[in-house]
Amino acid sequence: MSDHNEFNAEVTLALTGASGMPYAINLLKALVNANQKVHLLVSSAALVVLKTESQLNVPAKPELASRFFIELCQAKESQIKCYGKDEWFSPVASGSAAPKKMIICPASMGTVSAISCGASDNLIERAADVVIKEQGQLIIVPREMPFSLIHLENLTKLARMQVTVMPASPGFYHQPESIDDLVNFVVARILDHLKIKQALIEPWGYKK
């Protein structure tokens, strides 16, 4: 069976070296549960943060990393595909092959800066550049505090390019009882913007 028939859609998910890996892991699991094929990009700095925040020792080699995340998320055999930072022949590097939707979660300010000026020095930056130029949907989830004027100017520049900026700022009106509840608030909002059905958080004003 082809990927086109096996999965509902394809999406690119990039993890960079900012704090906030629980958001990334819960989002990845939610995308898998929604039967999305995930093209996964993990920076070298993200590997360090994954180990620090989530105690996940993700292999650096893309093939081994793919297997690691497939097992972690109990995904289908070909549902998660990792790429190295210099795999310029990967689908995400091409406007004719890349998914039209991409999330960078968490998004470091270095990555935000590079994307805002079109640096494309690694595969994450190039994949984001492709989504922007092809007029797809790019969502970035910055986890930084406070924002400097440099950060705000770069984020504003991206917003003017129709990039969706969704800071990792969970709400409290759903009366969270755990860290997972707070994390899933942000994940749910991302899924809502991707138009992927989710049952993590009830919408505002929902009454049982």
d(Cα 56, Cα 4) in Å, to the nearest integer? 31
The angle at the Cα of 162, spanning 113 to 3, to the nearest 5 degrees, equals 95
Tell me: is residue 96 an annotated ligand-binding position: no
Tell me: is residue 111 an annotated ligand-binding position: yes
Tell me: is residue 173 an annotated ligand-binding position: yes
Tell me: is residue 116 an annotated ligand-binding position: no
C-alpha closest to that of 111 among 55, 48, 42: 42
d(Cα 104, Cα 27) in Å, to the nearest integer? 11
Tell me: is residue 136 an annotated ligand-binding position: no
Q: How far is CA 110 from CA 2, 59, 165, in A?
A: 37, 23, 15
Is there a contact between 141 and 103 (Cβ–Cβ < 8 Å)?
A: yes
Tell me: is residue 18 an annotated ligand-binding position: yes
Q: How far is CA 191 from CA 117, 188, 194, in A?
A: 27, 5, 5
Q: How far is CA 11 from CA 25, 41, 101, 123, in A?
A: 15, 11, 5, 15
Tell me: is residue 189 an annotated ligand-binding position: yes
Tell me: is residue 118 an annotated ligand-binding position: no
Tell me: is residue 109 an annotated ligand-binding position: yes
Quick count: other Cβ atoms within 10 Å of Cβ 87? 16
Residue stretches of the annotated binding site: 17-19, 43, 108-111, 143, 173, 189
Residue stretches of the annotated binding site for FMN: 17-19, 43, 108-111, 143
Residue stretches of the annotated binding site for dimethylallyl phosphate: 173, 189
